[in-house]
Chains A and B, each alone.
Chain A
Amino acid sequence: MIRSDGEVVVDSPNGGIEGFPPIAEEGGTLRTFFVPKLCNHCEEAPCVQVCPVGATFITDDGAVLVDEEYCIGCGYCVQACPYGARWFDPEKHVARKCTFCYHRLAKGKVPACVEVCPTSARLFGEVGHRANPLARFLRFNEIQVLKPHLNTKPKVFYANLDGEVR
């Protein structure tokens, strides 16, 4: 939320599981919006670069995955990800992340978050393909990526992203 005085308030109470109660703020609201953050499956992924054993890798079709049988659990990738997209599995003691539901992709399905979104706010497709819904979307919208100055070349694109989003 951006207040009328320009101050930005970001919150995600309890991960958003119980919804988002209205924020009682004095001075009025300028804009409010949601920004889902997920692994950006970067083309130049810092997490892949730093992994000492190569347990994190980019698949031929572009998803960034972790081999749980191979990860030594050093946590360097957690530090290197600019998007806070990696976490440490307290039971398996390895790094975990969004896989774009790779198990579903392998069966020709789209990721679960894309499938269940009631307003079709998420689109999934092959980047660089000329004639799919994603290509059309990228053509007709103003597209941004997160932290472009880091040159990670994300494959998660946002349309009409507010400049306050980092």
Chain B
Amino acid sequence: MQGYIYPNEFELRWSLLIVLYPYLTGLVAGAFILASLARVFNVKEVEPTYRLALLTALAFLIVAPLPLLAHLGHPERSYEIFLTPNRKSAMAMFGFVYAWYLMVVLLLEIWFDYRRDFVLRAREATGPRKWFYYALTLGSTDISDRALGFDDKAGRWITIIGIPSAFLLHGYVGFIFGSVKANPWWSSVLMPVVFLFSAIVSGIALVLIIYIVATLFRGKKVDMGCADKLATFLFYAMVVDFSLEMLDFIHRLYESEESIEILSQLIEGRLFVSLIVLQVVLGTLVPLIWLGVVSPALSWRGTRKVPAEVRRLIYLGCALLVQVGIFSIRWNVVIGEQLFSKSLRGLTVYKAELLGVEGLLMAGAFVILPFIILWLLVKIMPPWVENELPAPPEA
């Protein structure tokens, strides 16, 4: 502790779990927007990751609200958010945005996309597996060309609705923080936009990681056309994201409001490692430079010609660094906000505990859980191109 803080600021009310919540939600929105590149914008190169991105979004969306729930003082009353929401509360409305996204966008799109597979698997399989896949078809087993054409059209429309929905989902998370006028570190109109673009960055990087690692583990060849395209989009998204963050930073510095002094102390001291070192240097500048040099973002063959194996490794390293950077952004927003007093006269410290509901182990579990769910989803609904089921013989 340093200077003067209010008594209620000694202990941080929002801890590691609340850092995870915008991080996980951002991955969902980002992965979905990546999927929409293939579906709506017809970027052919990223098609190998289309289904994978959708499943990734679903796996992370299922887990995203869990840290919030675990953090509540009375989780058993959480249903009140849906039953008697305060319509003026940003947080209450998030419940509905989340539900809309899960039910209307993601589940429907995945269902329309996989319905043909479900039907074919139900026909092939025997025993409980047959019934399981039959249940997944929801009884809709028509896979004539006309029915599949409808599926395709419906999926396309849902994606078109889904893009603004994904923007809404994570922009809204940014709004939950950015609309708190009591806190000068949060209160910024740019917050939802910065959140959105950092979400896109994190989502693309995540799918890139999962795609490369999963492909290597499956003993297949990484489609370098796809990896190059992902790296290119990652680079572009990072440029926009970093520009926005710099704009926010310069704007604050130039306006130099009452809070500037304590915020400078915060950045130079408490947040130096997580903001300057992890977020800006390791999480943004280093991957930006590598991607700029290696990927075809700036010139179509890459500024330097690098063999595919090395390029793949560099992409993987960059994507991992980006994850560290984005996690640091969430950390700096959520934890950074609470490290300085609203009296603007002092700083406090945060020490994450190891055990307990808000501890490191619990947080680690919430990060691993989506990967387990994703693994299950991939087992049930293989997203790989070579797993595509052949058309059934004509009857």
Contacts and interface: CB of A to CB of B under 8 A. Distances in A.
A24 interface: no
Contact of A93 (B73, B80, B88): B73
A81 B4 contact: no
Contacts of A10: 3-4, 343, 345-346
B181 A82 contact: yes
A46 B77 contact: no
Given A84-B343, A93-B74, A52 B86 contact: yes
B345 A74 contact: no
A71 B6 CA distance: 23
Contacts of B346: 10
Given A46-B180, A46-B182, A75 B8 contact: no
B77 to A, nearest CB: 5
Contacts of B180: 46, 50, 79-80
Contacts, number: 112
Interface residues of A, number: 36
Contact residue range for chain B?
35 or more
A53 interface: yes
Contacts of A15: 7
A85 to B, nearest CB: 8
Interface string B77-104: 1101100111011111001000000000
A49 B343 CA distance: 21
A165 B338 CA distance: 20
Interface of B: 3-4, 6-9, 11, 13-14, 68, 71-75, 77-78, 80-81, 84-86, 88-92, 95, 180-183, 258, 337-338, 341-346
11 contacts: A10-B3, A10-B4, A46-B181, A50-B180, A52-B81, A52-B91, A53-B84, A75-B71, A79-B180, A83-B342, A86-B8
